[in-house]
Chain A
């Protein structure tokens, strides 16, 4: 028979554990039952989530200077600048909430930003609400109008050839290289907007699974070069490529992912393979990649 003191202590312990369990299930607490600093409920919940999941990279002030940041390349996003890589809105404009939520779900390929898919939809919305408190731009500006993407036309060899012409004419190869390896003449000197060295996307990097920084699909690729990757050297081509021509460029770019099973690669193969795409021979002064360039281009994938 147990002593009454043991029983009451056990009951107390069970209550405490139950209470703890309840607290966990009720969601992440930010420590303040009522919102502080004029935050909405959503922002307050987002604050708690941020302190749990984000602060070690993105920092207490949201400026990308968390404790881990010094070990990361590229550095974490600085939310105080309100400049975002992955948007459906034009360069220089604020993204839509859905852009930020998609970034949370996908993570950012080739960086240390993981996928936060396991969080709930409400968690992600709260996080987006909170990170907006880091910059006053969200108070004074509206997000840009998302770019209009026409329906994708069929993948044909003409489309791929035209895309190749655009690739040459827009001089994408200057950074991305003729094979899209990220080893063009300007690649080794590229820096992002915080003066950190950065490499262009290498289309032949992964194998069958090649993902882009801001997505996976043809439509994502379209959006990337039409809105630009803000904060990096990648500019927007929205003013200089017609919306329908942009699909041709997408089809050509997919053929640079030579190991990927895709309609584009099939069409190119049955038309004779990459050799049918004539590249204007670059002048001798342009083509010699420095030894260091080639070494760097294989690092860090």
Chain B
């Protein structure tokens, strides 16, 4: 019985491709110092959105979590990544809800389909301010189908709605599929890395970028942490 279980386990391991790309880089993004206080957003000019929030929402330029965690930080492999050409087949979705962008920072691969959805009762215009990619600007009234677009070049693109000036977001268009965006706990994970030398970059929309070099030799998990210096305003 034990031998059978052992054989099954061995077979599964052999068949599992993850054995080949089992290196992982993970860690936390934190800040030091005191970040600027998020400001409340006045949505009174758009009552259909204002009433969706019991308490006013706050600006999302810097989103923090417990233990000095920094959210919405894009962590990705900027050099040494093995699979820059593979475009994921599924689309990523950018949602306009309650006159906010969800997620605030959306990471995607170059050439990957981006779907923009309007779940509000008001019209939005989706205006990504690309400088390297094409800059386009489309109106999206409520009840209209999702807008489908894609970007060909790597770029961090600020996104805004002209009708609702408090709406800000970012598209992180990356050449690699090894990326993660930190949540409120500041944690990120880049799994499935073959052995090699990598440069990891962490990007925060206000605090800039930081890099770290890491070498993966086998299936180990390397711990890499990023600490940004908070700006007081």
Chain A residues with CB under 8 Å of chain B are 81, 83, 90-93, 169-171, 174-175, 185-186, 189-191, 193, 228, 230-240, 283, 285-286
Contact = CB atoms under 8 A, between A and B. Distances in A.
A283 B47 contact: yes
Contact of A230 (B135, B144, B162): B135
Most buried by A among B44, B136, B139: B139
B164 interface: yes
B137 A228 contact: yes
Contact of B144 (A91, A236, A240, A285): A240
Interface stretch (B122-130, B189-197, B200-208): B122-130
A233 B127 contact: yes
Nearest to B164: A186
Given A171-B122, A171-B141, A189-B165, A286 B45 contact: yes
B125 A233 contact: yes
Nearest to A80: B131
B136 A236 contact: yes
B44 A235 contact: no
Nearest to A284: B47
B229 to A, nearest CB: 25
Interface string B126-163: 11010100111111110010010000000000000011
Contacts of B47: 283, 285-286
Contacts, number: 80
A175 B163 contact: yes
B135 A231 contact: yes
Contacts of A91: 136-138
Contacts of A232: 137
B165 A186 contact: yes
Contacts of B140: 239-240
B224 to A, nearest CB: 35
Nearest to B43: A285
Give the dominant DSSP class at A's interface.
loop
Given A235-B125, A239-B144, A285-B45, 16 more contacts: A81-B131, A170-B139, A175-B162, A186-B162, A189-B165, A191-B162, A191-B165, A228-B136, A228-B138, A235-B138, A235-B139, A235-B162, A236-B138, A239-B138, A240-B141, A240-B144
Contacts of B137: 91-92, 228, 230, 232-236
Interface string B40-66: 000011010000000000000000000
A92 B147 contact: no
A158 to B, nearest CB: 22
Nearest to A283: B47
B126 to A, nearest CB: 8
B135 A92 contact: yes
Contact of B136 (A92, A169, A234): A92
A214 to B, nearest CB: 15
Contacts of B134: 92-93
A193 B129 contact: yes
A235 B127 contact: yes
Nearest to B126: A235
Contacts of B127: 193, 233, 235
Nearest to A200: B162
B171 to A, nearest CB: 14
A83 B131 CA distance: 10
B135 A239 contact: no
A170 B138 contact: no
Given A93-B134, A285-B45, A237 B123 contact: no
Most buried by B among A90, A92, A283: A92
A41 B136 CA distance: 33
Give 5 closest A-B pairs by Cβ, nearest first: A92-B136, A233-B162, A235-B125, A171-B123, A189-B165
